[in-house]
Amino acid sequence: MGSNEEKIRYELTREFRFEAAHRLYKNYSGKCGNNHGHSWHVIVAIHGFKLDDSDMLIDFNDLKPLKRWINEVLDHTTILWESDPMLAYIKESKQRYFATKKSPTSEHIAEIILAKAMELFNNDRIKVKYIEVKESCTSGAKVFPKN
Ligand SMILES: [Zn+2]
């Protein structure tokens, strides 16, 4: 028993969406330096070698805590680098914001969501394989944990 199981790796994905503005200010001079919004797509990929008692890697519903966190923390915010001077105005005018350590690129936003997803979902049986963040239908970034 189990020898076949060991040879199969299961993977599932779920997609979430949120609305937010951002701008790239740190060492950047292109058009994305202007504040602008996206309908962001977030894809979480989970993988593992063993199914649970219901023969699932994880119930899709059990991925909802990540969606809730995204809604609370990122949805309808302006996402700005913590040293962006625009942050002061956003705070002052009581707008929702999310301040980031690095420039709020797709790469960095994916990195932030990856950390949360790993905290929520990683266990002995399943791991987060990657987070993909798409700014549009044609552009996105994926981040993978190192191990
Ligand atoms: Zn953008």
Residue 50 CA to ligand 1 centre (angstroms): 38
CATH, residue 17: 3.30.479.10
Return the H-helix or E-strand segment holding 48.
strand 36-48
Q: Distance from the CA of 92 to the center of ligand 1, in angstroms?
A: 23
pLDDT digits (tens, 9 = 90+) for 14-59: 999 999 999 999 999 999 999 999 999 999 999 999 999 999 999 9
pLDDT at 124 over 60: yes
The structure tokens listed for 138 are: 């044609």
Alpha carbon of 16 to ligand 1 centroid (Å):
17
Please tell me the predicted confidence (pLDDT) of residue 4. 54
Which pLDDT score, from 0 to 100, does residue 5 have?
Answer: 56
CB atoms within 10 A of CB 98: 18
Domain with 125 in it = 3-143
* Residues 66 and 9: beta-carbon distance below 8 Å: no
How many CB atoms neighbour CB 71 within 10 A? 12
**Binning pLDDT at 50, 70 and 90, where does residue 136 land?**
confident
Q: How far is the CA of 45 from the centre of ligand 1 (A)?
A: 23
* pLDDT tens digits for range 71-96: 999 999 999 999 999 999 999 999 99
Domain count, the chain: 1
